Amino acid sequence: MNEKYEEMMKQYQENYEDAESLDPNSSLFAQPTEENIAKWQLDLTEDLDRIYHLLQGHYKVIENGNEVYKEPEDENQKPFNEFGVQTIMNIMSFYLNRNTILSNYDEETIKVKVLNFGKELTDLIHNKYQEMMLTMDVGKILKELTGKDPVKLPDGRYVRYVKKNLINGKFTVKIVEFDDDVMNYVHEIQRNIIMEKVKIYPMIVRELVDTVHSAYNRAYHGGERESLRKSMHISQSNAVGGGTPGFSGKPQGKKAWFNPFGW
């Protein structure tokens, strides 16, 4: 799993637990508090976490009665490489946040924003599909074909070897390329892998657009702000009048967001 993403989730979980430990009403039979309700209602970490696993091609299995995510056995079964995953996650984090859901939009504004988002996300992946989708280890394939470790140049190309010569006190560099047949074969493998991934790309885009659309719908005429205000009002009323025991203002149980494999 990407270290930066894991660290981000770990920090969020630590902050969440610190706040919870200071909350005298966080036990199972405590009354709801405004802070608990706000955390639960505005927390979009689970949505981002689910998107991360979607982009990574992870799949769920049952282990010891618990659902856990597993890595695909073949790297090429991942819809996107690490660059592609992080690029999309960075984009989604700008849309799936409290600023979006606590805004106030009319129907026309939501339609325009979501339509533009869908078009631009589609264009981005279409224009950079090789950089974002290719997971094939070219160096590994070339080594299997030739029996020797290739040399990767600063521009990303692989060559058979680079030879330096000292002539008249000056260094010269000789680059020996792979045969055209070898590189054509590697490029054909790359093309086939990309073509398979392109087949699921429209569905992934649809899922991402639908997620953003749902977030904007929560801001329809300030609906989320109004819902949060009412929840806090009920919380305050219950705190004064006794309330209903057994409700803690957030889903029961805690998940380690920074480590989905431990769910």
The total domain count for the chain is 1
Residue 180: inside a domain, yes or no? Answer: no
Indicate the range of 64-68, 145-149, 164-168, 226-230 predicted with least confidence.
226-230
32 touches 238 (CB < 8 A): yes
Residue 186: inside a domain, yes or no? Answer: no
Distance of alpha carbon 78 from alpha carbon 221, whole angstroms: 39
61-81 pLDDT per residue, tens? 988 888 889 999 888 889 999
Q: Which amino acid is at 127?
A: N
Q: Which two tokens mark 210?
A: 């639908």
Residue 166: inside a domain, yes or no? Answer: no
Q: Model-level pTM? A: 0.68
Residue 170: inside a domain, yes or no? Answer: no
**Residue 44 neighbours by CB under 8 Å, 6+ apart:** 96, 97, 98, 101, 215
3-17 pLDDT per residue, tens? 655 665 565 555 445
57 touches 94 (CB < 8 A): no
Distance of alpha carbon 122 from alpha carbon 158, whole angstroms: 30
In the block, which residue shows the tokens 């000292």?
A: 166
Residue 187: inside a domain, yes or no? Answer: no
Beta bridge partners of 220: 105
Q: Which two tokens mark 72?
A: 């695909």
Q: Tell me which residue range forms the domain holding 111.
A: 3-135+201-262
Residue 168: inside a domain, yes or no? Answer: no
Residue 29: inside a domain, yes or no? Answer: yes
Which is it for strands 158-159 and 161-167: parallel, antiparallel or unpaired?
unpaired
Residue 144: inside a domain, yes or no? Answer: no
